[in-house]
Structure 1
Amino acid sequence: MITDEHIKTFIYQAHRYGDAKLMLCSSGNLSWRIGDKALISGTGSWVPTLSKEKVSICDIASGKPENGIKPSMESTFHLGIMRSRPDVNVVLHFQSEYATTVACMKNKPKNFNVTAELPCHTGKDIAIIPYFRPGSPELAKSVIDAMKEHDSVLLTNHGQVVCGKDFDEVFEKAMFFEMACRIIIHSRMEYDVLTPTEIEDLEVYVLGKISK
């Protein structure tokens, strides 16, 4: 059951992401799984100043809004990710300054692992998909397909999408995504990345994984 506390928490997190300059005005959208329902920022809403009147409650299976508030036009990929990824509870589509600049570059980086934070938190591989019209079925399908194997996606000439188990994890992924792109741009494309061996070393000793 969706409660007022759920909605207050969702609004607080939306404002938190906005305060971090992950999106401007009506750019970007946010969703949160609660049982078999999802809270989604509404069509035309400004996530940085989201209000209760702009929070849509949707059935994840059918995609239908249940409180009369139309969800974001990108709700198709939010709900699609949740259907295909039971481990994902939060999805954020954002357009931060440096990451969106990279999304618009002709020669995009093929490797974003400029610091340890990227493979440790954002994902050692960031999917890059071509441009599709915002809100289109083609965009939704491409994002859903990419998110089956990734937690972070760069949308050409559009923005970024990250997903995770909770609000903190998603915030961390988005912030480190933006940090990596800021480093890449400030380096004027003259940057080093971690080697596969260095990333494996992180997996064993920083993340506590056992290499097999």
Structure 2
Amino acid sequence: MSDSELRRQLVEIGASLFDRGFSVGSAGNLSVRTADGFLMTPTNSSLGRLSVDELAELDHRWRHVGGPRPSKEVVMHRAVYETRPEAQAVVHLHSTYVTAVSCLAEDGPTIPALTPYFVMRVGREVPTVPYYRPGSAEVDAELRAAAAQGPAVILANHGSIVAGETLESASNAAEELEVSAQLAFLLRDRQVRPLTEDQIQELLD
């Protein structure tokens, strides 16, 4: 895609996520890889009110080279891109159910593999990294270790960050993660039938 097409897509997907309740206020941020580096949503911007002419521009070394200042959470995006070189886009959301899951005091997988779409879009399970202040560089090492396990990571007491081969695929995976978290809550006190190991492996293969 050209720079102008990527800008338009970033604005359109941001508005779609906002309009459908996956992001509120100025929460969440998006980024996409370009020929010259990266485009990213500006700091304190709303995904529902982005402008194609007002996006942060960063070069390949993550230096701010144009537009408004990027989100303070640029450190997370950089960690994911550098860990997953195939990633062309990253979506970070504070969606309701994933954020609720991120606040639970539980060990082990917090969202079970209940549907094939969960496995196909985010993998076998989604790792959780400990809480760090938003924008803190201290999250770097733990986030890189988690991102090496799969395209989606839950951020404790915060939300999610998801990588994709396109901005659309990253957004779809982030939405699938949110719906899967909602299913986990709806079925929380009931006996469930998760996918078997053979079924999961078939999907991954």
Aligned with 1:194: secondary structure?
coil
| Cα separation, 1, equivalents of 2:96 and 2:51 | 24
Match of residue 121 from structure 1? 121
| Cα separation, 2, equivalents of 1:102 and 1:196 | 23
Match of residue 94 from structure 1? 93
Structure 2: unaligned runs, 5 residues or longer? none
Aligned with 1:13: secondary structure?
helix
Match of residue 50 from structure 1? 50
Q: Which 10-residue stretch deviates more, 23-32 or 163-172?
A: 163-172
Match of residue 206 from structure 1? none
Match of residue 37 from structure 1? 37
Give runs of aligned pairs for residues 102-117 of structure 1, distance below 5 A: 102-107=101-106, 110=109, 111-117=111-117
Report how many aligned residue pairs link the two structures: 203
Q: Partner letter of residue 171 of structure 2? A: F
Tell me how far 1:50 sits from its aligned partner.
1.4
| Cα separation, 1, equivalents of 2:202 and 2:53 | 48
Percent same amino acid at aligned positions?
Answer: 27
TM-score by length of 2: 0.90
TM-score by length of 1: 0.87
Aligned with 1:66: secondary structure?
strand
- Contact in 2 for aligned 1:56/1:65 (Cα 8 Å): yes
| Cα separation, 2, equivalents of 1:71 and 1:34 | 15
After superposition, the C-alpha distances for 1:185-206 in whole angstroms (9 at most, x for unaligned) are: 1113433321212212334xxx
CA RMSD of aligned residues (A): 2.0
- Contact in 2 for aligned 1:81/1:144 (Cα 8 Å): yes
Structure 1: unaligned runs, 5 residues or longer? 204-208
- Contact in 2 for aligned 1:74/1:140 (Cα 8 Å): no
Give runs of aligned pairs for residues 157-196 of structure 1, distance below 5 A: 157-190=157-190, 191-196=192-197
- Contact in 2 for aligned 1:119/1:199 (Cα 8 Å): yes
After superposition, the C-alpha distances for 1:134-173 in whole angstroms (9 at most, x for unaligned) are: 1101123322331122111111110001101002211221
